[in-house]
Structures are given as C-alpha cells and as structure tokens.
Amino acid sequence: MSMHFDFIDLFAGCGGLSLGLEQAGFSPILVNEIVPQFAETYRLNRNLDNSSVFVGDICELNNDIATAKSKFENVTLVCGGPPCQGFSMANRQRIIDDPRNMLYKEYLKFLCAIRPAFFIMENVRGMQSRWDEIESDFNTYLNQERHTYNFTGKLLLAEDFGVPQHRERFIVIGNRLGIAPEVIFDKIFSLKRTPFVLRDALYGLPSLGIKAEKGRNDVEDDNSGYTQIDFSYPVTDFYHFINGDRKLSVLYNHKNRYNNPRDVEIYSRLPQGGNSLHPSIADIMPYSRRNGIFKDKYFKLQEDRICKTITSHMRYDCNMYIHPWYSRGLSPREAARIQTFPDDFILYGAQNSWYAQIGNAVPVKLAHAIGTAIVSFL
C-alpha cells in the first residue's frame, strides 16, 4: 500500500506543481490561490471541498495564522511560488524590502508559523542571482533562534525531466530533518531523462481549421475546436508519459482562437523556425520598422525540437507559438500537453483564462521529479 503525505500549496494557480507532487505520493490538505478561475480549476480536478481551497490573499491566511498553525502543525510539506517582480540585479533594494515582493515575505511568514518537515519555493531564474539575500531572509525567518532548517537553491531545466519545453525554474528546497539539501538535489538530478520533442506532444490531436468569427467562443466545430468531445487517443510513449496506463476517451479544451486574415497568411508562409525577420513575410509584416526589437513577435515552432517556454502571454495571442503544421496558434490543450498535464485535466473558466492558467503553471513532470526525490527521504 503506497503512503501519502500531506502538503499545502500556496500561490497554487491551476495546480501544476501540486499535480506533480500528487503523482509522487503527496495529498493536498490546504490550497491558496487568489484568482477564482484558477482556484476553480484546481478544486474541480481533485474533487476537493470548498474548505480545503482558500480563494484570497495569503495575507488573510497569515492574519489568522494561529488557527492555521494549530490545524496544520504536522504537515509534511509546504510549497509555493510567490510572485517576485523586484529581484532584478539592477534593483539595489533588498528583495524582501521591495514592496512588489510583499508576497515573498508573506510566504516566509507562513513557513515560519507552520514549520513543515519540508518546503519548496519555486520562482524565475533571476532569483538565482540574489541567492545571498534569499539565504539571509530564510535564515532570519526560519533559523533565528536555532539552526533548524537546511536549505539551498538550484536552477532546474524542465527538459531534463522529459518535458518537451525549454523552461527554467529556480527551486529552493529545505527541511528540518537534518538532510543535506544537496543530497536531495542529487536525487532529483538522478531522475533526468531524454526530453520528448514538440512532435510527440502534438501528434494525433485534431488539426482544427481557421476560426471564422471573432468572439464566438461558443462555437464547437472542426474549425473552432471543442471544449469537450469523445476522442480516441493514439497510444504513444508520450501518451504514457503524461497519462500513465489509463485509457482516456475524451478530449478537453482543444479550442482554436480567431486570427485576422493577415496573421493567418503570416502563419501559412513562415517555415518552421521562421520568425518576424523571415523574408517570406517581409511584404506583409506589420512591425517591419521595429523588426529588430520584435523579431519573435511571430515564430513558427519546430516539430523536431523542444518548445519555447509556454507563458501566460498566450491569453492575448499565439503569434509566438504558431503550430508547426497548421496556420494557427497552439490550442490550450496542446499547451497543456507541452506542460505535461494529463489529458483528463480540465481547464475551467474563459478560454483566455485557460492559456493563463497553463502558462503560469510548473510543468507537471518537473514537479513529479522534485516530489519523487523528497518522498525517497520520508
């Protein structure tokens, strides 16, 4: 019988980090997310009751931290990726003193109160350059009275763990069990594998045509795509990688978006790997005077390589994520596959929100590797 360990996810988004941890043997007991649509996606994919999902600001949790402390004092893991905009090397202000990084401080306050056996903080690559400050901040909050927590941070690449995407995340892992954090990272690195490529993630999904009407997200057909439709998946190595041995028969969130005729023409002309500077679109490129700045305003993805980083910008347009085979951008389901979400993970809310949820997520299989490593020490 497999063991399960409790965890709390702060700034959870739609739950990419959580899902990987769950696949490794963890179970969520409290989830915090401020965006209602993101929180709804998280909850409905797990059948959690409303009391387990706190939709609101982490500051509100910390205002009632005594209650949280008594309820969750034996939790195994707390994880989260607090938004942190003020970490730039050009910014001479300390990270924790920058008002833009208030949520980083609130995350530390929560850790200090709950004091889990393990914690994970994930963030952008830029935080690596401010490690001395981060180390000092964690020691101030967690090791002020005595040295209880051992922790360190490393840069992890999602593609090193099979994810068909270039995505860098700075991961801080700590524990109060006396385990050297370097040993935990060594275990994570031992789980590296050859990445899949974009072709693997896209293979077999319906092609979709050109969506004819702007603003008609209610249309469900072979051009506009489908929110939900019965579907027979081709069973491939990638299918097993994201879905295991489960036999799934429904396709979710495979919706096209409207593109104006000029963009459709650009999509059709560009070769794979072509961007805004490519001569094939010189006569219709709308940003020709600023091409040097916006050279990747348009980019057609390459099927035999890993994908560029999936971001929440896709909620505005997919010009930087042109499908390698068709004259359209990636669908939310295709983006979710590139982030290694399983095919039965359903995105809720508006279609633009689906892109934001996926773009903000931690790749599931990167999180799975982190969780698997931590579980090996429990």
- Write the CATH number for 328: 3.90.120.10
- Looking at residue 100, its pLDDT comes to 58
How far is it, in rounded angstroms, from Cα 260 to Cα 280? Answer: 18
Res 90 pLDDT > 50 = no
Confidence of residue 331 (pLDDT cuts 50, 70, 90): very high
* Number of domains within the chain: 2
Reading the block at residue 147, the tokens are 């040295």
**Residues 144 and 250 placed together within one structural domain of the fold:** no
Give me the domain span that covers residue 20.
5-193+363-375
Examine the domain organization and report whether 272 and 334 are in the same domain.
Answer: yes
Q: Give every CB contact of residue 197 below 8 A, 6+ residues apart in sequence.
A: 164, 303, 304, 305, 306
pLDDT confidence bin for 64, thresholds 50/70/90:
confident
In this structure, the answer to whether residues 37 and 95 fall within a common structural domain is yes
The CATH number assigned to the domain holding 9 equals 3.40.50.150
Q: Does residue 185 sit in the same domain as residue 258?
A: no
Do residue 283 and residue 146 come from a single domain? no
Q: Which parts of 76-212 are beta strand (E)?
A: 77-80, 118-123, 150-157, 168-175
Secondary structure (DSSP) of 165-211:
B--EEEEEEEESSS--HHHHHHHHHTT-BPPP-HHHHHTTS------
State whether 131 and 173 are in the same domain: yes
The two tokens of residue 221 are 């057909």
Is residue 84 part of the annotated active site? The answer reads yes
SS3 145: coil
Are the C-beta atoms of residues 52 and 29 closer than 8 Å to each other?
A: yes
Residues 223 and 315 in one domain: yes
**Residue 33: closest CA among 60, 70, 64:** 60
pLDDT band (50, 70, 90) for residue 89: very low
Q: Residues 212, 355: one domain?
A: yes
State which of 98-112, 136-150, 192-206, 284-298 shows the largest mean pLDDT. Answer: 192-206
How buried is 191 (Cβ within 10 angstroms: 0-12 exposed, 13-18 middle, 19+ buried)? middle
Same domain? 170 vs 204: no
**Are 179 and 41 in the same domain?**
yes
Band of residue 333 on the pLDDT scale cut at 50, 70, 90: very high
Say if residues 138 and 174 touch (Cβ distance below 8 Å).
Answer: yes
In the block, tokens 């700045």 appear at 293
Q: Return the pLDDT at 88.
A: 45
Can you give the pLDDT at residue 95? 57
Are residues 182 and 211 part of one domain?
Answer: no
Considering the domain architecture, whether residues 41 and 103 belong to the same structural domain is answered as yes
Q: Which of 14, 79, 84, 307 is catalytic?
A: 84
